[in-house]
Amino acid sequence: MSIPTLSQIAHGLSTGHFSSEEITCDLLADIVAKDKQYNSFITITKTLALVQARAADQRRSQGRAAPLTGVPIAHKDIFCTRGIRTSCASRMLDNFVPPYESTVSQRLLDAGSVCLGKTNLDEFAMGSSNETSYYGVVNNPWDLDAVPGGSSGGSTVAVAAGLVPGATGTDTGGSIRQPASFCGVTGIKPTYGRVSRFGIIAYASSLDQAGPIARTAEDVALMLNVMAGFDQQDSTSVDRAVDDYCAQLEQPLKGLKIGLPKEYFGPGLDDGVAQCILSAVQDYERLGAQILDISLSKLPLSIAAYYVIASAEASSNLSRYDGVRYGYRCDQPTGLLDMYCRSRAEGFGTEVKRRIMVGTYALSEGYFDAYYRKAQCIRRLIKNEFEHALAQVDVIMGPVTPTPAFNQGSKTVNPVGMYLEDIYTLSANLAGIPAMSVPAGFVSGRPVGLQIMGNYFAEAQLLQIAHQYQKVTDWHLQIPPHSSQECA
């Protein structure tokens, strides 16, 4: 029993083994029959998917197919999709149908991919467990009592369970890597500015970055080839040529210098997770890499700095939801102020309100210097430290999270406990460097991801490093007990 990878599906389409319409129908039937147990989709776009699949088959028959033509995927419900409800998992946007398309989804559409639907996430991408969604918790196919991680939990679960071979995600502080680690799939957060943010509902604009999630590094490379690139509509998009992310995959790793920061292996790291990471590092030594001990001493400051900056930006970004132009509006407001207050009070969930309040506080007069400015200074120190480290080594490796997936409800009462989960992922966003999660083992039946961080625009190298590992291991090919294959 196996779940086909995105590359295998692309291959099957190109050799005529099956049509896009056939595979699309199969996967849609699976989603309808099996997603009840995961809750990974918010919206299933059946009619649209079939129209797109037929168009893809026609394009192929005319000899105009690209690598992703006819390949079914799903989008995190944070990417605006024209004419398709885009909720960001919030009551605030439950009725929002965007009149325009995000650049990422447009590029994937132009490449001929087929959109099966929009996946669940933490409300406005704020969370590490996918428990803050207005549409309910997402269940991890490795253990239905465990969280899938967040915020891109719907996308990672849909991929892990075999409902879709690839999906988009966004990562502001770990939201691609952490759920990828918890669900045993592969995901990359590219360099800030590599993938356009146009049409992605903003959480923290200086940290948000979109990336692909799939089962293998090769699949992720195929998707990133389409997603990456300059976009005039995003002023932070970088005008720089895009590498072919598949070109370097087969190159050997001899001479690669890997840095292991001692702070990533300190107190708080689960023993089983540490074992998985160290054994992955040994695999890399066998593949010809050289391991060096390094230090990233600012790691402990990343949580405080991140949660000040991200909340500050969120409080500003979310001020647009006021019940006036679009989104949720309360019933029968008695006046303008009542409409603002009740629309926001009723439209946002608890975690989102907490972030808005923290952010507004940190930005207010008298506190700006004490919190926001200080957090920005720490951010610069973190960036400097990465630059210094990456001048000595090619990449940095460590765990993605301190523990494997935790049980649902176990961290919801203590928000700070939940924030601590992000300790190993936040720094890459603060520095803007690319980072990925690659399946590297299991602890008590729950997956563990290896984090690989690299220099600015080194995505091709990260994917090569992940691919070479996946050629000698099969963690990424394991099938969850509650997958679409197992319950067939």
Residues near ligand GLN, by CB under 6 A: 125-128, 151, 171-175, 203, 310, 422
Quick one: 70 or 127, whose CB is closer to ligand GLN? 127
CB of 368 to ligand GLN, least distance (A): 21
The total of other beta-carbon atoms located within 10 Å of residue 472's CB is 10
Question: Which position's Cβ is nearest ligand GLN?
Answer: 175
CA separation for the pair 436, 459 (Å, rounded): 9
Q: Could you tell me where the beta strands, DSSP code E, fall in 24-76?
A: 41-44, 72-76
User: How many residues make up the chain in this entry?
Assistant: 488
Look up 181 and say whether it is catalytic.
no
Q: Is 76 a catalytic residue?
A: yes
Residue burial 284-296, b: 16+ Cβ < 10 Å; e: rest = beebebebeebeb
Compute the distance between CA of residue 439 and CA of residue 187 in angstroms, rounded to an integer.
10
| DSSP H or E stretch at residue 167 | strand 166-170
Output 10 or 188, the one with its CB closest to ligand GLN. 188
Nearer to ligand GLN, 112 or 404 (CB): 404
**Closer Cβ to ligand GLN, 92 or 125, answer by number:** 125
Considering the candidates 34, 40, 76, 129, report the single residue annotated as catalytic. 76
Distance CA 346, CA 341 (A): 8
Nearer to ligand GLN, 168 or 175 (CB): 175
Residue 134 · residue 174 · CB < 8 Å: no
Which secondary structure element, helix H or strand E, spans residue 187, and what is its range? strand 186-189
CB of 127 to ligand GLN, least distance (A): 5
Q: Which is nearer to ligand GLN, 12 or 187 (CB)?
A: 187
Nearest approach, Cβ of residue 357 and ligand GLN (Å) = 15
- Report yes or no: 41 and 31 within 8 Å, Cβ to Cβ: yes
Please say which residue, 38 or 306, places its beta carbon nearer to ligand GLN: 306
CB 417 within 8 A of CB 411: yes
Q: Which of 20, 133, 152, 175 is catalytic?
A: 175
Q: Which is nearer to ligand GLN, 69 or 86 (CB)?
A: 86
Largest CA distance in the chain: 70
- Least Å distance, CB 233 to ligand GLN, is 21
How near is the Cβ of 421 to ligand GLN at its closest, in Å? 7
Q: How far is CA 243 from CA 203, 211, 223, 435, in A?
A: 28, 15, 13, 16
**CA quadruple 446, 474, 476, 273: dihedral sign:** positive
Minimum distance of ligand GLN from residue 272's CB (angstroms): 22
Separation between Cα atoms, residue 181 and residue 158, nearest integer Å: 14
For residue 352, what are the contacts with CB-CB under 8 A and spacing of at least 6?
90, 123, 124, 126, 132, 314, 318
Nearest approach, Cβ of residue 151 and ligand GLN (Å):
4
Q: Decide if 163 contacts 3 (C-beta within 8 A).
A: no
DSSP secondary structure, 441-453, as one string: EEETTEEEEEEEE
Minimum Å distance from CB 208 to ligand GLN? 7
Map residue 262 onto helix, strand or coil: helix
Q: Which of 68, 49, 51, 50 is nearest to 60 (CA)?
A: 68
Helices (H), 199-335: 217-227, 271-286, 302-317
Question: What is the three-class DSSP state of 166?
Answer: strand
CB-based contacts of 337: which residues, under 8 Å, 6+ apart? none
Q: Give the strand pairing for 435-443 and 186-189.
A: antiparallel
In this complex, which beta carbon is closest to ligand GLN, that of residue 126 or of residue 460? 126
Is 175 among the residues known to form the active site? yes
Q: How far is the CB of 310 from ligand GLN (least distance, A)?
A: 5
Residues marked active site are found at 76, 151, 175
